[in-house]
Structure 1
Amino acid sequence: MPEPTPGEGFDPVPPDPPIHHAEQALLGALLLDPNRLKTIGPLSPDHFASPAHTAVFAAMTDLTAPTPAVHTAEPAWITAVHAHARARAPGLQPTYLHTLVNLCPVPEHAPAYARMVRADHARRTLRAQAEYLVQAATDPTTPDPAATALARADTLAGFLDELAGRFPPHPGSLPRTPLPPPPERDGGDEAAYEERVLLACAVARPQALTAMRWLHADDFAIPLYGRLFRCVAQLAHRGDPVDPVTVLWEAQHHGLLGPSLPPRELLDLMATPAGAAEHWGERVLLRSLLHQARTAGLRIRAYTDDPATSVHQLVTGSRRALADLTAVRARWHHATHPAPTARPVPQSASARAGPRPPHTKPATTARTAR
Structure 2
Amino acid sequence: MNPLLAAEQALLGSVLLDPGQLSRLDRLAPDHFHRPVHQALFTALRKLRNDGHPALSERPVPLSWVTDAVDEAGLHVRGLTTVYAHSLVSACPRPAHAPVYGRMVLEGAIHRSIAEHAIRLHQAARADALQGGVEGALHRADVLIGALRDLARRWGTETRPVAPATPPTTTPVARQPALADRIAEDEQILLAVLAEQPKSLDDVAGWLRPGDFADRAHGQIYRCLGALRHRGEPIDRITLLWEAQRRGLLADGTLSGDQLTAVCDGVEPGSAERLGEVVMRSSVTRTAATAARAIRALAENDALAPGQLINHALHALGPLDDVRTRWQSANGGPAPAPPAPTSTPNRPSSARIHAALARSTPRSAAPPPALPRPAPNPAAVRPPSRGPI
TM-score per shorter chain, which class?
0.7 to 0.9
Closer, same or farther in 2 for the Cα pair 1:315/1:69, shift >3 Å? closer
Quote how far apart the aligned CAs of 1:240 are.
1.0
**Correspondent of 1:331 among 317, 326, 329:** 326
Match of 1:280 in 2: 275
> 1:257/1:123 Cα in 2 relative to 1: closer, same or farther (>3 Å)?
closer
- Is the Cα contact below 8 Å between 2:189 and 2:268 reproduced in 1? yes
8 Å CA contact 1:40–1:114 kept in 2: the answer is yes
CA distance in 2, matches of 1:282, 1:242: 23
TM-score by length of 2: 0.75
Please tell me whether residue 244 in structure 1 is matched to residue 237 in structure 2.
Answer: yes
Structure 1 residues 241-300: Cα deviation after superposition (integer angstroms, max 9, x where no partner): 123332233233334458996646633432322211111111112211111111111111
Change (3 A) 1:97 1:296: same
Asked if 1 retains the 8 angstrom alpha-carbon contact of 2:237 and 2:264, the reply is yes
AA aligned opposite 1:208: S
Partner in structure 2 of residue 29 of structure 1: 14
Secondary structure at the aligned position of 2:54 is classed as: coil
TM-score normalised to the size of structure 1?
Answer: 0.79
Q: Call closer, same or farther: CA 1:84–1:71 in 2, change over 3 Å.
A: farther
Deviations 1:58-85 (A, max 9, x none): 2212224224565637411111112222
Q: Give unpaired runs (5+ residues) of structure 1.
A: 1-15, 340-370
Cα contact 1:174–1:317 (8 A) shared by 2: yes
1:9-41 residue CA offsets vs partner (Å, 9 max, x unmatched) = xxxxxxx32111111111111111222212222
1:60 maps onto 2:48 in alignment: no
Between the aligned residues of both structures, percent identity stands at: 38
Partner of 1:84: 72
2-side partners of 1:228 and 1:157: how far apart?
Answer: 35
Contact 1:245–1:267 (8 Å) recurs in 2: no
Which residue number in structure 2 is paired with residue 309 of structure 1?
Answer: 304
Q: Check 1:49–1:73 CA distance in 2 against 1; reply closer, same or farther (3 A cut).
A: closer
- Give the counterpart letter for 1:329 in structure 2: R
The amino acid of 2:168's aligned partner reads L
- Asked if 2 retains the 8 angstrom alpha-carbon contact of 1:28 and 1:103, the reply is yes
Query: What is the RMSD of the two structures over their aligned residues, measured on CA atoms?
Result: 2.6
Specify every segment of 5 or more residues in structure 2 that has no aligned partner in the other structure, as ranges. 335-389
Q: 1:296: which partner in 2?
A: 291
Which structure is higher in RCO with an 8 Å CA cutoff and minimum separation 6?
2
Q: In structure 2, do the counterparts of structure 1 residues 110 and 338 end up closer, same or farther at CA, with 3 Å as the change threshold?
A: closer
Helix, strand or coil for the counterpart of 1:180?
coil
- Deviations along 1:213-251, whole A, 9 cap, x unmatched? 211222211211211111111111111112333223323
Distance change (3 Å), C-alpha of 1:107 and 1:73: closer
Deviation at 1:177, TM superposition (A): 6.0
Distance change in 2, residues 1:48/1:184 (3 Å): closer
1:129 aligned residue: 117
**Equivalent residue, structure 2, for 1:253:** 246
Question: Paired residues, what number?
Answer: 322
3-state DSSP class of the match of 1:145?
coil
CA deviations on 1:129-160 (whole Å, 9 max, x unpaired) are: 11111111111587563122111111111222
Q: Partner of 2:184 in structure 1?
A: 192
Shift of 1:203: 1.1
User: Does the 8 Å contact 2:208/2:326 carry over to 1?
Assistant: yes
Find the partner of 1:168 among 135, 156, 166: 156
Q: Which runs of structure 2 are paired with 1:111-122 in the superposition (5 Å)?
A: 111-122=99-110
